[in-house]
Structure 1
Amino acid sequence: MKVITKTPSKETLNSGYHKFCFNWWRILLTILLFPLIYFWSKKYVKEFFKFTQTYQRTGLMNVGTVTFDFNSFDGYYQDVIAKQLDQFDFVFKPEEIAAMQTVTILNRQQAPISALYLQNSKSKKWVIGLHGWTENKYLGLRQVFYFYQQGYNILTFDSVAHGLSAGKYTGIGYLNAQNLRDVIQWLQDNYAVEEVGLIGNSMGAACLTKYLIDEGYQNPLVHWAVSDCGFSNLLVQFRYVMQYRCQHPWWLISFGLVKKFKKEVGFNLRKYNLLKQTKRLKDFPMLIFHGEQDDFVPYFMSKEFFNQKVKDEPKGQSQLVSLLNINHVEAISKGHQIYTAAIKAFLTKQERK
């Protein structure tokens, strides 16, 4: 499969959602060209599925001349250096790292979830960080660092089929939404919890949103969420990625994609559409970040979700922070000042309620 050789246009990144949905002429051409589409899709869907499932979970990793365990604080530290977050003192102190606890939480199917947490003295407020695709709980620490500095307890955990958590295949957050529910239940069972906040980037952002729409909006302990460059519809997201990785129109090469994921992973991609039940979040505040130059999860994903969500909620409850010249998962680094200022203002607003 080719890598991206053509950057999507600004128009596509900002307003291209419907370019990756069927309309009358795409349906007509699909019928007319079906033999060709079937032949091409058989190859490209297989390659694309392999692409979504191929990433490191355990073992040693090399960055330059440094070799370290992928599932370790060394991985987190190398990530901080790579994103130049150390210049903002965005790094845990040695005594904080020493105080972190690892725990294996069993979900409702008795499958292990590998988690990491750090408590602040006397705090009963928690923030759970959800990492992105191909990452792990250690890389998720970058998202919760600021909240620990503000006095929150923090927890991150390996998503399904990532790091040391169970799972053969990743559902890109779909399967992990149930694990998030079980992690929150574990907190409630083991600690006096007054408040839970959620933060996730990319896959993690979509995962927390799915959890909120499915059931989290009914949990009085879950007060707010921060979403960084999350997708709003996984099928549309896959079509977008396939088109720009393979340099062919998505409707020519993606026939059978839904069937492939249903067979291998066990869920229907069409059900991973976060735009359908946004009314359930009408009373739930969200802070949403997205770089307008994001060419992996395009800006139109957050834009569509935000526009849908604010139709039914009080003015000013949620906010979309659009960052110019920022690519995927770069808000925390290249947009750092705006990023932290927006979170600070958002938290202040929640505390006043």
Structure 2
Amino acid sequence: MKKFIKMVRFLCSLLLFLSSFGILITNRLMYIKKKEDEAILHREKSSGHFHPDDFLHLPKKEMTVPSPFGYDLKVILVEPHQTNRYMIISHGVTENKVNSIKYMKLFLERGFNVAIYDHRRHGESGGKTTSYGYYEKFDLKAIVHWLKNKKGSDLLLGIHGESMGAATMLLYAGSVEDGAHFYISDCAFSDFKEQLSYLLKKNIKLPPKLVLPLADTFLRARERYTLHDISPISVVHRIKHPVLFIHSKKDDYILPSMTEALYQKKKGPKKLFLAENGAHAKSFHENKEAYEAAIDAFLQEFVFQRDR
């Protein structure tokens, strides 16, 4: 009897430990610490990507788009051009729409109007948790439909995504709807489980084979999805429209091999640009001329020729 009681106590203790650890892991994912809005603003201003006076005088509208999950998404629609060409910019995790302004300027210079927005739980948008593209892809669908309904069926639409925003975009195009005419994926992860496994071994020194199944179990229970559901590489082959894949060769946070794998798996029209310099999500900042040249070549080959 004493052995039985000890065994029950041990199992209860183990269950309590695993439950606490599972909640801790998923809390780290669901409520990932975001950058302070003021810090993002200061960084973008000091790097020369954001000039408040210039932005203030752009013709724009601040609007909200309802998410299918019951919160509002904050959108800024910038329209200096009389055109049917529009871009949507999808930012990375822990960032906000201010981070998208540098890309907005790039496409404004190429004759596009641009919509920038905050992902769920970021910036001025609602939502309680971050899901690394799982729920965000449906929010992106809401933005696309809102813009098409507002601007008409003859819209020429592109989407640019950075990091998690790029993964979100690929998940949207590959598993929800291929609703834009072209996509630009900057430093996306190919598979979220693989990305977490890499980061666990690199930064935290925890065994992925023990941690990730526990995270999967608790994510399913708490958020109704698993790590397997966040896998752009499993759906990228379904995207029929052109994709430009971008990554920095020196990115050691999301490895460039992930973008190379996505490029290989994508069928149909595509291009790949591997930037020589820059850490994660710094390809544009560190390789501005080459980055713009890659986008211009992509647009000329796959977008502007077909728009004539």
TM alignment of 1:309-328, pairs within 5 A? 309=266, 312-313=267-268, 317-328=269-280
Q: Give the counterpart letter for 1:320 in structure 2.
A: L
- Is 1:296 paired with 2:253? yes
Corresponding residue for residue 308 of structure 1: 265
Shift of 1:56: 3.7
Give the counterpart letter for 1:94 in structure 2: D
| Contact 2:190-2:259 at 8 Å conserved across structures | yes
Q: Of residues 144, 169, 193 in structure 2, which corresponds to 1:235?
A: 193
8 Å CA contact 2:171–2:235 kept in 1: the answer is: no
Pick closer, same or farther for the CA change 1:341–1:181 going to 2, 3 Å: same
Match of 1:124 among 84, 87, 92: 84
Aligned to 1:319, the other structure's residue is in SS state strand
Which residue matches 1:158? 118
Name the structure 2 match of 1:275: 233
Separation in 2, partners of 1:43, 1:326: 38
Contact 2:133 2:230 in 1 (8 A): no
- Residues 279-331 of structure 1, C-alpha deviation per residue, up to 9 Å, x if partnerless? 312x311111111221211112111111111xx32xxx211111234320010
Unmatched segments (≥5 aa) in structure 2: 1-13
State whether residues 41 and 254 of structure 1, in contact with CA within 8 Å, keep that contact through their aligned partners in structure 2: no
Q: CA deviation at 1:38?
A: 9.3
Shift of 1:234: 1.0
Letter paired with 1:79? R
Structure with greater proportional helix content: 2
Please state how far the C-alpha of 1:242 moved relative to its aligned partner.
1.6
1:70 corresponds to:
none
CA RMSD for the aligned pairs? 2.5
Deviation digits for residues 162-193 of structure 1 (CA, Å, limit 9, x no counterpart): 12222111101211111111111111222235
Question: 1:143·1:200 contact (CA, 8 Å) conserved in 2?
Answer: no
Match of 2:98 in 1: 138
Contact 1:161 1:169 in 2 (8 A): yes
Instruction: Answer whether contact 2:89 2:117 (CA < 8 A) is retained.
Output: yes
1:278 deviation in Å? 3.0
Equivalent position amino acid for 1:199 in 2: H
Shift of 1:49: 3.0
Does the C-alpha gap of structure 1 residues 148 and 38 become closer, same or farther in structure 2, counting only changes over 3 Å? farther
How far apart, in 2, do the equivalents of 1:139 and 1:167 lie? 19
Cα displacement string for residues 202-231 of structure 1 (whole angstroms, at most 9, x for unaligned residues): 0000000000002332x3xx1111111001
**CA distance 1:215–1:254, change in 2 (3 Å):** closer
What CA distance in whole angstroms lies between the structure 2 residues aligned with 1:197 and 1:207?
Answer: 14
SS of 1:333's equivalent in the other structure is helix
Q: CA deviation at 1:140?
A: 1.7
CA contact (8 A) 2:167 2:190 kept: yes
Q: Which of residues 112, 117, 126 is equivalent to 2:72?
A: 112
**3-state secondary structure, aligned to 1:242:** helix
Q: State the match for 2:63 in structure 1.
A: 103
Q: Is the CA contact (8 Å cut-off) linking 2:244 and 2:272 kept in structure 1?
A: yes
Question: In structure 2, which of residues 10, 31, 44 is the aligned counterpart of residue 80 of structure 1?
Answer: 44
Give the match's secondary structure for 1:138: helix
Distance 1:245 1:201, change over 3 A: same
Structure 2 residue 158 is matched with structure 1 residue 194? no
Partner of 2:241: 284
> CA–CA distance in 2 between the matches of 1:200 and 1:40?
38
> Percent of pairs identical after alignment?
21
Aligned length: 289
Q: Displacement of 1:259 after TM fit?
A: 1.2
Letter of the structure 1 residue corresponding to residue 278 of structure 2 = I
**What amino acid maps onto 2:252 in structure 1?**
D
SS at match of 1:261: helix
Amino acid at match of 1:223: H
Matched, 1:351 2:304: yes
2:224 is matched with which residue?
Answer: 266
List per-residue Cα deviations over 1:33-63 (Å, max 9, x = no partner): xxxx9999767654443333232487x63x5
130-139 or 266-275, larger mean C-alpha shift: 266-275
Structure 1 length as normaliser, TM-score?
A: 0.75
Q: Secondary structure at the match of 1:326?
A: coil
The superposition leaves residues 71-116 of structure 1 with CA deviations (integer Å, 9 ceiling, x where unpaired) of: xxxx44x23345x3x2xxx545725424332111112344211111
Aligned pair 1:224/2:224, yes or no? no
Report what 1:332 is aligned to: 284
Using structure 2 for the length normalisation, give the TM-score. Answer: 0.85
Q: Which residue is 2:173 aligned to? A: 212
- In the TM superposition, residue 248 of structure 1 has moved relative to its aligned partner by 3.3
Say if 1:137 and 1:43 are closer, same or farther in 2 by CA, change over 3 A.
same
1:54 maps to 2:13:
no
**Structure 1 SS opposite 2:247:** strand
Q: Higher RCO, 1 or 2 (CA under 8 Å, sep at least 6)?
A: 1
